[in-house]
């Protein structure tokens, strides 16, 4: 399955794990920076070869496609070795397991590159895809669908645990071959396949999580058409009605219209209507509350599977925030002290999500190294555009607005408009209050927990009391008073400052 490298880095956490996903349409290498709950891909390369194009019609890979894929995989293994990786795994999906010359293909790869290929069964492919989504959403309940070039994997999950799964041979490349490129004939084939899945009916009205390049392309086109303010596919959502209307529109696009789509590659655009009709029929059958697009899938599932149980149990949001904060903070992590200090504020906020409050405390010092004139703006974009796929768009906007206000930005400014568009009024007001609380906290302590302990904050009914103890080191009491008053206005309460050092 994999081959270990002697050049592995010094500790388990620093191991660089690589995976080559050999799909029916594309072959992709991803190398992750380390074994962690929130890994980052430091290498992400693909070759779109349409390897499985002839499998439905002829039952085998064409000689040309076979040779091109072996060459591409050899190049990707060399790229991974040059990183270097400590482990590299090659996983093959529907195309290879269906092709008569699939075994010969795997033998050719081993002979050329020295790596063995693991050919996943449909069930194994479905489980890994679902595990990838669960790695970002640990307590997910709903149905995950991963559309590849050759197959559609469907998995039902209850609180992050797989309860049912199936693999259907209705990927776009298969459908194109089976119907003679007649899109109108695909609907009945997809419906027939879905109807054979006995467990799907009881999973209606849950969220549907869409995985795979074809469906991510649909999300990108929808975002562009609606001038959506954030170009991050992971966590993007459509209502059931939106999804059905939009996919129906895509199904009727002519060749000229498809070729004119600029937000996705020309090769991806060619299969866009086929991905659209597959999504339309799945949504028609499941009637989900929402369609949620995921950037995580089989490759992330493989990485998650390599983690020990303790790391798997970590909250991915907190892990990602600690990764980002660890790159930028000045002093040791003071997030626990910040969260304790802010607790009375959280009790008065209009709407509180404890996970996001903790995440904001972890991120509190993330912008200190920027030029003072640009800290608020840079902190906003750094958090809003975090590369980790563990946040939905509302969470991104909330934490970004918190950081913007924490560094002195105005929640009503033009720069914060992107966050306001993604948040409701109540969430925006909560983010504003939390940002002002962090701003006051950092004015008191500059990110050092010991100093913060000397300036406790407490509730007095619906108001707050800030105590400046004997060990407080306040060089600018006037600024502290202004920040405290600003926090009070955000919470519609009074913040009283008592200086016990003078008594």
pLDDT digits (tens, 9 = 90+) for 373-432: 999 999 999 999 999 999 999 999 999 999 999 999 999 999 999 999 999 999 999 999
Tokens of 70: 């072996």
Question: Given this model, what pLDDT does residue 217 score?
Answer: 94
Reported as a pLDDT band with limits 50, 70 and 90, residue 502 is: low
Question: Given this model, what pLDDT does residue 477 score?
Answer: 84
Burial label for 187, CB within 10 Å (0-12, 13-18, 19+), is middle
432's CB contacts (< 8 A; 6+ apart) are: 401, 405, 411, 490
Mean pLDDT of 343-357: 91
Reported as a pLDDT band with limits 50, 70 and 90, residue 255 is: low
Name which residue leads in pLDDT, 368 or 402.
402
Mean pLDDT of 148-170: 95
Does 9 have pLDDT greater than 50? no
The CATH number given to 123-299 is: 3.30.420.150
DSSP readout, 462-498?
TEEEEEE-TT---S-HHHHHHHHHHHHHHHTS-EEEE
Does 230 have pLDDT greater than 50? yes
Say whether 181 sits in a helix, a strand or coil.
coil
Q: Which of 370, 363, 283 is nearest to 329 (CA)?
A: 363
Name which residue leads in pLDDT, 448 or 348.
348
Mean pLDDT of 90-104: 96
pTM of the model: 0.90
Reported as a pLDDT band with limits 50, 70 and 90, residue 110 is: very high
> What is the C-alpha to C-alpha distance for residues 209 and 402, in angstroms, rounded to an integer?
28
Q: What is the DSSP secondary structure assignment for residue 421, as one 8-state letter? A: H
Mean pLDDT of 435-440: 97
Mean pLDDT of 141-168: 95
291 phi, psi to nearest 5 deg: -105, 120
Q: What residues are paired with 158 via a beta bridge? A: 161
Tokens of 491: 């919470």
Q: Which of 175, 168, 159 is nearest to 198 (CA)?
A: 168
Does 3 have pLDDT greater than 50? no
For 406-440, letters b (16+ CB in 10 Å) and e give bbebebeeeebebbbebbeeebbbbbbbbbbbbbb
Cα 438 to Cα 47, 89, 360, 382, 447: the distances in Å are 46, 44, 9, 17, 10
Say whether 365 sits in a helix, a strand or coil.
coil
Superfamily classification of domain 2-119? ATPase, nucleotide binding domain (3.30.420.40)
Q: Do domains 2-119 and 123-299 have the same CATH topology?
A: yes
Distance of CA 202 to the CA centre of its chain: 27
Question: Given this model, what pLDDT does residue 409 score?
Answer: 96
Question: Given this model, what pLDDT does residue 12 score?
Answer: 55
Task: Report CA dihedral (482, 488, 493, 499) to the nearest 10 degrees.
Answer: -50
Average pLDDT of the chain, as a whole number: 91
Reported as a pLDDT band with limits 50, 70 and 90, residue 348 is: very high
Percentage of residues of the chain with pLDDT beyond 70: 96
> What is the C-alpha to C-alpha distance for residues 281 and 187, in angstroms, rounded to an integer?
7
127's CB contacts (< 8 A; 6+ apart) are: 155, 162, 165, 301
225's CB contacts (< 8 A; 6+ apart) are: none
Domain ranges of the chain: 2-119, 123-299, 316-502
Percentage of residues of the chain with pLDDT beyond 90: 80
Q: Which of 126, 275, 292, 270 is nearest to 214 (CA)?
A: 275
Tokens of 260: 């004119």
Mean pLDDT of 363-369: 93
- Fold adopted by 316-502: Hypothetical protein af1432 (1.10.3210)
> What is the C-alpha to C-alpha distance for residues 260 and 254, in angstroms, rounded to an integer?
10
Question: Given this model, what pLDDT does residue 438 score?
Answer: 97
pLDDT in tens, 305-346: 999 999 999 999 999 999 999 888 888 889 999 999 999 999
Burial label for 442, CB within 10 Å (0-12, 13-18, 19+), is buried
Question: Given this model, what pLDDT does residue 220 score?
Answer: 95
């Amino acid at each position: 399955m994999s081959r270990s490298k002697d050049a592995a880095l010094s500790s388990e956490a620093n191991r660089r794990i690589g995976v080559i996903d050999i799909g029916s349409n594309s072959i992709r290498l991803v190398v992750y920076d380390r074994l962690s709950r929130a890994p980052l891909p430091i290498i992400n390369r693909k070759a779109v070869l349409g390897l499985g194009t002839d499998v439905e019609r002829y039952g085998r890979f064409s000689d040309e496609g076979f040779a091109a894929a072996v060459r591409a995989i050899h190049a990707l293994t060399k790229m991974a070795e040059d990183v270097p990786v400590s482990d590299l795994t090659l996983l093959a999906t529907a195309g290879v397991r269906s092709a008569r010359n699939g075994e010969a293909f795997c033998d050719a790869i081993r002979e050329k590159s020295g790596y063995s290929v693991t050919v996943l069964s449909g069930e194994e492919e479905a489980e890994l895809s679902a595990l990838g989504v669960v790695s970002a959403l640990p307590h997910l309940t709903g149905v995950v669908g991963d559309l590849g070039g050759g197959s559609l994997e469907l998995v039902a999950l209850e609180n992050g645990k797989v309860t049912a799964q199936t693999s259907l041979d209705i990927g776009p490349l298969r459908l194109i071959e089976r119907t003679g490129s007649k899109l109108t004939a695909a609907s009945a084939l997809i419906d027939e396949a879905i109807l054979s899945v006995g467990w799907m009916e009881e999973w209606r009205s849950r969220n549907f999580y869409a995985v795979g390049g074809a469906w991510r392309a649909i999300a990108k086109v929808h975002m562009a058409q609606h001038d959506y303010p954030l170009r991050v596919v992971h966590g993007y959502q459509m209502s059931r009605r939106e999804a059905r209307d939009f996919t129906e529109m895509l199904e009727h696009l002519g060749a000229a219209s498809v070729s004119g789509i600029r937000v996705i590659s020309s090769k991806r655009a060619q299969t866009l209507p086929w991905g659209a009709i597959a999504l339309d029929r799945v949504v028609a059958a499941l009637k989900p509350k929402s369609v949620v697009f995921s950037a995580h899938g089989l490759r992330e599932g493989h990485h998650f599977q390599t983690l020990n149980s303790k790391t798997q149990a970590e909250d991915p949001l907190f892990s990602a925030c600690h990764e980002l904060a660890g790159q930028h903070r000045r002093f040791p992590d003071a997030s626990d002290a910040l969260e304790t200090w802010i607790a009375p504020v959280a009790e008065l906020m209009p709407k509180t999500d404890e996970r996001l409050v903790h995440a904001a405390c972890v991120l509190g010092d993330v912008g200190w190294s920027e030029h003072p004139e640009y800290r608020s703006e840079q902190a906003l974009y750094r958090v809003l555009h975090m590369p980790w796929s563990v946040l939905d768009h509302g969470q991104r906007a909330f934490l970004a607005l918190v950081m913007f206000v924490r560094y002195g930005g105005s929640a009503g400014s033009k720069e914060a408009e992107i966050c306001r568009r993604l948040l409701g009024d109540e969430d925006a007001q909560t983010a504003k209050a939390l940002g002002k609380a962090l701003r006051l906290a950092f004015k008191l302590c500059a990110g050092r927990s010991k100093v913060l302990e000397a300036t406790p904050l407490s509730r007095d009914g619906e108001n707050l009391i800030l105590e400046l103890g004997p060990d407080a080191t306040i060089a600018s009491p006037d600024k502290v008073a202004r920040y405290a008053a600003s926090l009070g206005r955000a919470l519609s309460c009074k913040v009283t400052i008592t200086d016990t050092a003078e008594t």
